[in-house]
Structures are given as structure tokens and as C-alpha cells.
Amino acid sequence: MNRNAVIKKAEQLERLRLETQNRQMELQNRLAVAENAYLQQQISPHMLFNALSFIHSSVYKVSEQAGNCALLLADILRFSLDSNNDDGKIFVEDELEQIENLVEINRYRFQQQFISCNFHGDFTGLRLIPLVLLTLTENVFKHGNLQDSEQPARIWIGFSEGVLTYYAKNLKKQKSNEPPRKQIGLSNIRIRLDHTYPGNYKLKVDESETHFITRLSINL
């Protein structure tokens, strides 16, 4: 076999490899969409929204705060179920609104929670895969001690020069006798970021004796 034939054969094999790789990626995308659709169908959104509407109307006269919490929760639920567009992304501003809702709900629940949440930059038209920032924020409430007025939890989200940045720092909850939970939320975030932004993001969670610090940066 002469040199030209070898080169041609190598080119054909490379094209075949790339075509196979593209088909595999397409199948993975379809699988991810199917899995999301399946999970969303496990609960009936209309049933939940109707239930929350009933709760709101029932408790609002007794507790305005509880009624408001029901509405905020319904808004977060609606976002989590209906957030996927054709390309699997949402507007960052929409998710920031749900982060504010989550913070507000927890302020209603725990009157003495101390947390600051700030956004910096122009997020207009910026799009991202959903529930990444919201899940990281949920972890602050799940694993953080927010009862110390001198060391409030801090959440900061910014966008500058094409980079979206998430930063959170919070005191750790006191240790309990319960076995540690697997960090399923973080693992899922990494999988989704690896799939959508391979080589274009950094996610790091640092743990000291007293604090958790979460840093995420994505080149968009």
C-alpha cells in the first residue's frame, strides 16, 4: 500500500471515529432529555400548584407570612419543572429570581437567619443550564449554620468579561450523630457541567473546621 493510500485510509478511519463520537453524543443528549422528562412526570404539577394555592388561601388569613411562603414555593416549583428550553438552558436572571425566593422563604421560616445575597453585573440575555446556582444556594441552607449574626452566610453572584462567578461562604452546622449524606447535588452539577461546559468551568468546595466555601466560575 503506497503512502497516499495509507493517508486516505487514515482519513477515512478518522471520519468514521468522529461520526461515531457525534452519534454517541447525540444519543447521550436524547437520554438526558428523556430522563429529565421522566423525572418531571413523577409528580403532577397541576396537583401541586392547586394544593399550594389551597394552602395559601387557607393560611393567609391566619398568617400572611405562611401564605407568602406558599406562593414563593409554588414559583420555585414551577421554575424547576418548566425551566428547560429546547437547548436545555434558561436565562440566568430567571434563576436569580428563584434564588431570591429561596432566601426569602428561609427568612420567613427562621426569623433569626443571617445571610447576605448580592448580584453584580449585567445578566441581560445570559443563559445557563438550569438549577446549578439554585442547588448551590440550597446547600448553604442545608449544611450551613445561619444563626450567628457576627458571621452571616454570604452569597455573591457576578458576571464580568464573559465569566459567571458564584461564591458562597457559610459557617458549618454542628456535627450530629447522623451518618454523612452523599453529596448527590454536587455530583449531579459536576456531571451536567462536564457535559455542557467541558474545560470551561471550575467548581471547588473548600471545607475548614468552621466554614464551607463554594466557588464556581463558568466561561460563557
**Residue ranges covered by each domain of the chain:** 112-220
What band does 144 get if pLDDT is binned at 50, 70 and 90? confident
Element (H, E) at 160: strand 153-160
Compute the half-sphere exposure of residue 152: CA atoms within 13 Å on the CB side of its CA: 11
Burial code (b: 16+ CB inside 10 Å, e: under 16) for 107-116 equals: bbeeeebbbe
In this prediction, residue 220 carries a pLDDT of 92
170-189: per-residue pLDDT in tens?
998 877 555 555 556 788 88
Residue reference for cell 450551613: 144
Bigger pLDDT: 181 vs 62: 62
Query: Regarding the domain delimited by 112-220, which CATH topology (the fold level of the hierarchy) does it fall under?
Result: Heat Shock Protein 90 (3.30.565)
Distance (Å, rounded) from C-alpha 107 to C-alpha 130? 24
**pLDDT for res 164:** 98
pTM for the model stands at 0.72
What one-character DSSP code corresponds to residue 173?
Answer: P
Give per-residue pLDDT as tens, 27-47: 566 656 645 554 554 445 556
